[in-house]
Amino acid sequence: MKKIAVIGTGLSALSLVHHLPSLDITFFEKSWRPGGRISTRRHQDYAFDHGAHYIKEDHGIIGFNEYLEKIGATKILNGAFCSNIQNQSPIEEKRIIVGQKGIESIPLEFHKKLRYPTEFSTHIKKIESRNHEYFLLTDDKEFGPYDFIFTCIPFEQSKNLLEDFIDYENIPTLNFDSIWTIMLSFDKRLGSPFQFGYHLNKEISFLMNQNFKHEFFNEECWVINMRAEWTKEYYNIENYVLEDYVIDKIKKFFGSSSKAIYKKSHRWRYSYCKKSLLELSNKNFIESIDHRLYALGDWCQGPSMQDAWLAGKKLAKYFSELRLQI
């Protein structure tokens, strides 16, 4: 049986492997857990979905919601939502899909159901070709040989691994927005009339209460995303300066005397792909001329979790049909 290496365990990688027939597959993941930006940070009794936030119930991608429900990864909630806080848009009830025990439940349960071996905390630095077979190299280890390699990681990272084997001259360069994310807990309610919403002000693009998503906390917990333009301007701001700045802005907006008792911030470098590979080149993925190396990610179809699912599904279909021809 042909041996396959999949670098990355984000949703596009998990979807790819799920839609492939049973093969000799090994995952490689530089983190200690699967999921990429689908991440829940925990601190004592707090939980913060600080990467992806939720899935739209009505996104229209067939099979995605149903599979996540089947494996017990998600639940449906009703939340008070404001589409434009700054413009005082009306608050409406919105049905959303969230992780059963934090958004991380999605990749954790998905990966568990696949049951393929995974090399965690393994950062692949280089791919080498020898006698028509491929090897993966870290700083001190070598894995292989492999017949096929799928790099399901951010575009620039894939390019660094594959540019010795794939001509990128005719492949458009994808541009990403970085986003600062801040996690805060307050000792009492802020008094917000909504649980999540967009466009708080010229600096903050999104905020979401975590209490209604997770188990009950004694304190009120929020995740806040800064605008991409603001993040670009203040990319290298010190974390503590950013956190105190946002606390001040939030308290002033809600007229609250709450005290922040926990604060943490994280910068997502490849948070949002401005235009997908499909939009720029009408391609669903990148492949080598020998059809053995592939680059894939949510950036192939779009920025959302359902786009990542669709990207993996499309490449799996192409690869399965190709194998029948060769």
326 has pLDDT over 80: no
Confidence of residue 1 (pLDDT cuts 50, 70, 90): confident
Q: Do residues 264 and 292 share a domain?
A: no
Average pLDDT score over residue span 284-291: 96
215 has pLDDT over 60: yes
Q: Do residues 21 and 130 share a domain?
A: yes
Confidence of residue 281 (pLDDT cuts 50, 70, 90): very high
Considering only 6-10, 236-240, 294-298, 320-324, which range has the smallest mean pLDDT?
Answer: 320-324
**Separation CA 239–CA 67 (nearest Å):** 38
State the chain's mean pLDDT as an integer. 95
More confident residue, 51 or 215: 51
Q: Do residues 52 and 73 share a domain?
A: yes
230 has pLDDT over 60: yes
- Work out whether strand 260-273 and strand 286-287 pair parallel, antiparallel, or are unpaired: unpaired
Q: Do residues 214 and 257 share a domain?
A: yes
Q: Do residues 114 and 168 share a domain?
A: yes
55 has pLDDT over 90: yes
Q: Do residues 190 and 218 share a domain?
A: yes
Q: Do residues 288 and 309 share a domain?
A: yes
323 has pLDDT over 80: no
pLDDT score recorded for residue 128: 97
Cross-sheet strand order for the sheet of 126-130 = 126-130, 133-137, 142-146
**Separation CA 216–CA 47 (nearest Å):** 10
Q: Do residues 226 and 244 share a domain?
A: yes
325 has pLDDT over 80: no
DSSP, res 89: P
Can you give the CATH number for the domain in which 198 is found? Answer: 3.90.660.10
Q: How far apart are the first and last CA of the chain?
A: 14
- Counting every residue written for the chain, the total comes to 326
36 has pLDDT over 70: yes
Tokens of 110: 């998905």
Asked whether the beta carbons of 59 and 306 are under 8 A apart, the reply is: yes
Q: Do residues 59 and 157 share a domain?
A: no
Burial level of 186, CB count in 10 A (0-12/13-18/19+)?
A: buried
**Separation CA 257–CA 260 (nearest Å):** 10
217 has pLDDT over 90: no
SS3 (DSSP) at 277: helix
Residue the block writes with tokens 């930006």: 37
Burial level of 225, CB count in 10 A (0-12/13-18/19+)?
A: buried
Confidence of residue 324 (pLDDT cuts 50, 70, 90): low
Confidence of residue 44 (pLDDT cuts 50, 70, 90): confident
Q: Do residues 231 and 117 share a domain?
A: no
Q: How many separate domains does the chain show?
A: 2
SS3 (DSSP) at 213: coil
Domain end residue (candidates: 251, 273, 295): 273
pLDDT score recorded for residue 45: 83
Q: Is the pTM of this model over 0.85?
A: yes
Q: How many other β-carbons are positioned within 10 Å of the β-carbon of residue 35?
A: 25
SS3 (DSSP) at 109: helix
Q: Do residues 112 and 186 share a domain?
A: no
Asked whether the beta carbons of 68 and 97 are under 8 A apart, the reply is: yes
User: 85-132: per-residue pLDDT in tens?
Assistant: 999 999 999 999 999 999 999 999 999 999 999 999 999 999 999 998
Domain end residue (candidates: 253, 273, 293): 273
- Which residues span the domain enclosing 220? 40-104+175-273
**Separation CA 51–CA 267 (nearest Å):** 10
Average pLDDT score over residue span 129-157: 96
**Separation CA 279–CA 144 (nearest Å):** 35
Can you give the CATH number for the domain in which 9 is found? Answer: 3.50.50.60
Confidence of residue 203 (pLDDT cuts 50, 70, 90): very high
Q: Do residues 127 and 33 share a domain?
A: yes
pLDDT score recorded for residue 285: 98
Asked whether the beta carbons of 326 and 290 are under 8 A apart, the reply is: no
